[in-house]
Amino acid sequence: MKKGRVWKYGDNVNTDVIFPGKYTYALMPPEEMAKHALEDIDPDFAKNVTPGDVIVAGKNFGCGSSREQAVACLKAAGVQAVIAKSFARIYYRNAINLGLPVLQSEEAVDNIAAGEEVEIDFASGKIIATKGTYTFPPFPEKVLGILEAGGLIEYTKRKIK
């Protein structure tokens, strides 16, 4: 299990600040998307993020547009997982479909600080942080199948074979 450094944000982090609309309607390679990740909420993020880092945020993470780049840009930036009090529903689906783990835990969010290092054990559903260990609810079977396949494209490929 790789340790990841925490980037912490508040409630209602929306898809426009994660990935601005002006970049949305042209095709762009993932490494280019990563350069704009969280641009309008934290211009330092893309410059300083390192692979394995973890985003911790409040409620309704990813509200707004259905744009999938708001997931793809974080994945391309190397973000290991997003831990939030709750997720907006399209963002949640998009994250699963692209294979970015999205973990719901109020307790973890309340107790984890920016800059600290956390470890995530997906098998047992645990987040191990400085102040304690927190659990997140297991994924529904269907969702787990998609995550295990590495995302919806692979999952669908297997299905249509």
Residue 150 touches other proteins, criterion: CB under 8 A:
no
Residue 82 touches other proteins, criterion: CB under 8 A:
no
Reported for 144-150, long-range contacts at CB under 8 A and 24+ positions apart, including other chains, are 146/96, 146/97, 146/99, 147/96, 147/99, 147/101, 150/99
Among 3, 8, 17, 128, binds other proteins (CB under 8 A): 17
Among 31, 32, 50, 66, binds other proteins (CB under 8 A): 66
Least Å distance, CB 100 to other proteins, is 12
The answer to whether 17 touches 41, Cβ cutoff 8 Å, is yes
**For residue 131, what are its two tokens?**
């102040």
Choose between 94 and 105: whose C-beta lies nearer to other proteins: 94
Q: Which stretch binds other proteins (CB under 8 A): 39-47, 49-57, 106-114, 125-133?
A: 39-47
Least Å distance, CB 72 to other proteins, is 9
Least Å distance, CB 160 to other proteins, is 6
* Residue 87-106 contact track with other proteins, rule CB under 8 A, x = bound: xxxx--xx--xx--------
The answer to whether 73 touches 28, Cβ cutoff 8 Å, is no
Whole-angstrom CA distances from 138 to 35, 52, 117 are: 32, 21, 23
Q: Residue 60: CA atoms inside 13 Å, Cβ hemisphere, count?
A: 9
